[in-house]
Amino acid sequence: MTEPLLALSSLTLGLRMGADLVRGLDLHVNRGEVLAVVGESGCGKSMTALAVMGLLPDGVTRKSGSVTLDGIALTSLSARRLRAIRGKRIAMIFQEPMTSLNPVLTVGEQIAEVVRQHEGVSHRAARARALEMMNRVKLPDAARRIDAFPHQLSGGQRQRVMIAAALACGPDLIIADEPTTALDVTIQAEVLRLLDELRRDHGTALMLITHDLGVVEAMADRVAVLYAGVKIEEGRVEQVLDGPRHPYTRMLMAARPDADAGRGKRLVEIAGSVPSPDAMPPGCAFAPRCPQVKPRCHDRPPAWRGTAEGHGCACVLHD
Amino acid sequence: MSTGLTTGATGARRRRGRYLLRRLGQSAIVLGIVLLLQFTLIHLAPGDIADVIAGDVQSDDPEFIIQLRRDLGLDQPLPIQFAFYVGRLLTLDLGTSHAFNMPVLTLILDRLPATLLLMFSAIALAFVAGAALGTIAAAFRGRWPDVLVTISALLFYATPVFLVGIGLILIFTVWLRWLPMSGMYVTWVQHTWWSLAVDIARHLIMPAVSLSLFFVAIYTRLMRATMLEVLSQDYVRTAWAKGLSPSRVVLRHAARNALLPMVTMLGLQVGSLLGGAVLVETVFGWPGIGRLAFEAVFRRDVPLVLGILFFSSVLVLMVNLLVDLLYTRLDPRIVLR
Ligand SMILES: Nc1ncnc2c1ncn2[C@@H]1O[C@H](COP(=O)(O)OP(=O)(O)OP(=O)(O)O)[C@@H](O)[C@H]1O
Ligand SMILES: [Mg+2]
């Protein structure tokens, strides 16, 4: 097996002098593939994404573990060398297109500045690239819109601008944190299809954070399921969706309103609630809600069990 | 579609013209109200100018005072006096100063450039220093540059203007002998344009710094608070995610947004800046409107006081209008209506 493009190994994130939010996470994204990361709200998906970018919010730190891109340990890189990678080799698309663009800069400037930062080209060349990117993300009337300000665009158009900026330097990896959750249902699919199409053309890998199992099925190659900051199942999409092994994944699947009409539906909440980071049970985090809970589940966290086909799961039922 | 995209440059220009007209109209109304208030206040005070003049010429002949009142129009009912006053203002006839025995307009126009120079220097200094210090404080939040800036701002804020002035004079004039203590330029030498400019600049430094320190404090605190807020915005995170350098993120993405409230503050501060100018001009013998106002009030020179108030109100209103126009340039989201 070739080395993965992005590898997270036993990554633990937590509050400074406080609870852990993500615990011992191993995750990898291969070149050109789409890894979906799913899990209930608050399970640490966004923190994981931000940790890869080295953009954890104030108060949250990486306590241990590492992030490696193409053999480069991002987690031990100087701030300057990390900046050379952000936007150039890894780009990120955020959930809120309304607030993720700067209101006082034109969208053209906001696309062009990535190019200028990383390729040192002239203003003019960067602007030409911005226009090209805007055409590529199919923004209607791009030649005029290039001088528009974000508030003059719709949510879907803004997210296209974000995609244009993300792809402008031809990154190896895009991290998209629920890129369409804030959008109108009718244009969600459109924007996702665009993102998928463009990343295929560029051979760009995608780490897609989503709540939507329909999206996972349609777009992803592999999927990782997180629960309370821990990876509980991972595998190829068809393996996991067709044969979920962890009780939590099974419940997620069962909770899908209709497996066939699943697209566009969010994960339905399961009875009970996720333990809060500062009150993690000593055993399996899902044990308090698990219908198949065993006495030993409460003793210690279950070990990770993989299969030869790359379908792994952390549950005593599979020991 | 009603976005700004569909309307071309001409539409925008026409809208800007209409907006300007409407704002001018509003300003005129405000000015009228201000004048009325000022006029009423002045006339509420006991005694009038006829008493003062009679005192000056040491006459207590009642006939003389009555004649004087009639000559000055002081026997008319107040509304009529006010109407006359406004009518004369419209032709820029501000009357004659009794104290200086000169036309009020001449007196004010003589002193106006000095005050404008002082105010402009002070506010520019305050704005630039405040923006810079506030940005530094926010960028180094909680570390020593922040602590240093915050403490300095507090000091600037709490120190009275005249104390700053006297302190500066003690240090830079008495002790170091670097800067002249008072006036606007030395009168006993023959100046070339250049030497005059340098001389005025040397005289300007201390008054401008004294006048600005309080506002430096205000702008620093405002800028720091706004920058902290802006730096936590999603679009700043996006900028970091693009790999932009810290200076680009802080200056291009954050500071530009943080400057918007600062500009608003600019308009709000002109009034108190004028108030501060009275003190500073008196301390430093700066030949401006502020000192003139001080003397006018002291000598109960009603036409001069009213004239100065009129000019100050016009100044404040004009600056606010300019600030609003500037604001619409800076913030693309504002649509002129
Ligand atoms: N700025 C922050 N400081 C401290 N804790 C935070 C911060 N932001 C989020 N958290 C906590 O970190 C945990 C993980 O949050 P995260 O945003 O990664 O969840 P998520 O899986 O992305 O959820 P969602 O689906 O709602 O986006 C949550 O418990 C949250 O309360
Ligand atoms: Mg999230």
Please state the three-class secondary structure of chain A as a single string: CCCCCEEEEEEEEEECCCCEEEEEEEEEECCCCEEEEECCCCCCHHHHHHHHHCCCCCCEEEEEEEEEECCEEHHHCCHHHHHHHECCCEEEECCCCCCCCCCCCCHHHHHHHHHHHHHCCCHHHHHHHHHHHHHHCCCCCHHHHCCCCHHHCCHHHHHHHHHHHHHCCCCCEEEEECCCCCCCHHHHHHHHHHHHHHHHHHCCEEEEECCCHHHHHHHCCEEEEEECCEEEEEEEHHHHHHCCCCHHHHHHHHHCCCCCCCCCCCCCCCCCCCCCHHHCCCCCCCHHHCCCCCHHHHCCCCCCECCCCCCEECCHHHC
Q: Are B322 and B331 spatial neighbours (Cβ–Cβ below 8 Å)?
A: no
B254 CA distance to ligand 2 middle (Å): 23
Sort strands A312-313 and A222-227 into parallel, antiparallel or unpaired.
unpaired
Mean pLDDT value across residues B191-217: 90
Q: List the domain boundaries for chain B.
A: 14-100, 103-330
Higher pLDDT, B126 or B45: B126
Compute the distance between CA of residue A138 and CA of residue B31 in angstroms, rounded to an integer. Answer: 53
Distance CA(A45)–CA(A274), nearest Å, equals: 14
Model confidence at B14: pLDDT above 60: yes
Answer positive or negative: Cα dihedral of A49, A52, A53, A57.
positive
Taking CB atoms and an 8 Å limit, are A105 and B3 in contact across chains?
Answer: no
Distances (CA, A) of A275 to A62, A279, A286: 21, 6, 8
Give whichever of A6-15, A184-193, B61-70 has the largest mean pLDDT: A6-15
Tokens of A232: 């509980």
**Do A179 and A191 touch, CB atoms closer than 8 A?**
yes
Give the residue, B56 or B136, on which the prediction is more confident.
B136
Residue A275 CB less than 6 A away from ligand 1: no
Instruction: Give me the mean pLDDT over the B6-29 stretch.
Output: 78
Are β-strands A222-227 and A230-236 bridged in parallel, bridged antiparallel, or unpaired? antiparallel
The beta strands (E) that lie in chain B are given as: 96-97, 102-103
Q: What are the DSSP E strand ranges found in B31-154?
A: 96-97, 102-103
Task: Give the single-character DSSP code of B174.
Answer: I
The answer to whether residues A91 and A162 touch, using CB atoms and an 8 Å cutoff, is no
- Choose which residue among A38, A40, A46 to substitute to test ligand 1 binding: the one with the highest number of ligand atoms within 8 A of its C-beta: A46
State which residue of chain A sits closest to B327, comparing Cα positions: A104
Residue with tokens 């900051």: A229
Q: Which of A107-116, A280-289, B81-90 has the lowest mean pLDDT?
A: B81-90
Ligand 1 atom closest to the CA of A43, numbered from 1: 21
- The DSSP secondary-structure symbol of B336 reads P
Of A83, A149, A162, the CB nearest to B243: A83
- Per residue in B249-261, pLDDT (tens digit) is 999 999 989 998 8
CA distance A194 to chain B (A): 20
Sign of the C-alpha dihedral, residues A257, A261, A262, A264? Answer: negative
Is the pLDDT at B49 greater than 80? The verdict is: no
Would you state the structure tokens that stand for residue A279, as one six-digit string? 């009150």
Which run of H or of E encompasses B210? helix B193-231
The dihedrals phi and psi of A27, each to the nearest 5 degrees, come to -155, 145
Helix (H) or strand (E) holding B302: helix B302-330
83-102 of A, contacting B, C-beta below 8 A: 83-88, 91-92, 94, 96, 99-102
More confident residue, B78 or B232: B232
Q: Please check whether residue B200 is in contact with residue B113, taking contact to mean a CB–CB distance below 8 angstroms.
A: no
Parallel, antiparallel, or unpaired for β A312-313 and A173-177? unpaired
Helix B256-284 crosses helix B104-139 at what angle (to 10 degrees)? 130
Average pLDDT, chain A: 90
Cα B335 from Cα B28, distance rounded (Å): 23
B65 pLDDT higher than 90: no
Lowest average pLDDT, out of A41-50, A228-237, A280-289, B229-238, goes to: A280-289
| List of residues 6+ apart from B159 with CB closer than 8 A | B213, B214
Distance from CA of A91 to the nearest CA of B (A): 7
Q: Averaged over A8-18, what is the pLDDT?
A: 92
Does the pLDDT of residue A296 top 80, yes or no? Answer: yes
pLDDT in tens, A130-170: 999 999 999 999 999 999 999 999 999 999 999 999 999 99
pLDDT at A34 over 50: yes
**Cα distance between residue A184 and residue B214, in whole Å:** 50
Using the predicted structure, report yes or no on whether residue B73 has a pLDDT greater than 80: no
Which amino acid type is present at position B232?
S
Cα end-to-end span (Å), chain A = 25
Of B9 and B86, more confident: B86
Closest CA to B149 of B161, B157, B209: B157
Using the predicted structure, report yes or no on whether residue B337 has a pLDDT greater than 60: no
Give a three-class secondary structure readout of B18-34: HHHHHHHHHHHHHHHHH
**Within chain A, which residue ranges are assigned CATH 3.40.50.300?**
6-89+173-259+266-281
Average pLDDT over residues A219-228: 94
Mean pLDDT of B41-51: 69
A41-55, A86-100, A148-162, B263-277: which has the minimum mean pLDDT?
A: B263-277
The band of A264, judged by pLDDT with boundaries at 50, 70 and 90, is: very low
- Per this entry, what is the length of chain B? 337
The pLDDT assigned to A147 comes to 94
CA A146 to CA A148: how far, in whole Å? 6
Instruction: Say if residues B103 and B96 touch (Cβ distance below 8 Å).
Output: yes
Residue B165 CB contacts under 8 Å (≥ 6 apart), including other chains:
B206, B207, B210, B279, B280, B283, B284
Residue B93, pLDDT score? 82
Rounded CA separation B157/A197 (Å): 58
Please indicate whether, in this complex, the C-beta atoms of B245 and A117 are within 8 angstroms of each other.
yes
- Which atom of ligand 1 is found nearest the CA of A47? 18
Q: What is the pLDDT of residue B45?
A: 67
Point out the least confidently predicted range of A172-176, B239-243, B316-320: B316-320
Ligand with an atom nearest the CA of residue A94: 2
> What is the pairing mode between strands A60-69 and A6-15?
antiparallel
Q: What is the pLDDT of residue A299?
A: 87
Mutation site for A-interface testing, chosen from B1, B141, B238 by largest number of A Cβ within 10 Å = B238
Rounded distance between C-alpha atoms, residue A249 and residue A232, angstroms: 8
Task: Work out the pLDDT band at A53, boundaries 50, 70, 90.
Answer: very high
Question: Who among A53, A55, A104 is closest to B256 (CB)?
Answer: A104
Q: CA B284, CA A112: separation in Å to the nearest integer?
A: 52
What fold is seen in the domain A6-89+173-259+266-281?
A: Rossmann fold (3.40.50)
* pLDDT exceeds 90 at position B212: yes
Q: Does domain B103-330 have CATH number 3.40.50.2000?
A: no
User: Which residue, by CA, sits nearest to atom 19 of ligand 1?
Assistant: A42
Give me chain B's average pLDDT, please: 85
On the CB side of B187, CA atoms within 13 Å amount to: 4
Which range (A256-265, B39-48, B153-162, B320-329) has the least confidence? Answer: A256-265
Nearest CA in chain A to B254: A102
**CA A80 to CA A72: how far, in whole Å?**
14
Mean pLDDT of all residues in B112-138: 94
Q: Which of A143, A96, A150 is nearest to B332 (CA)?
A: A150
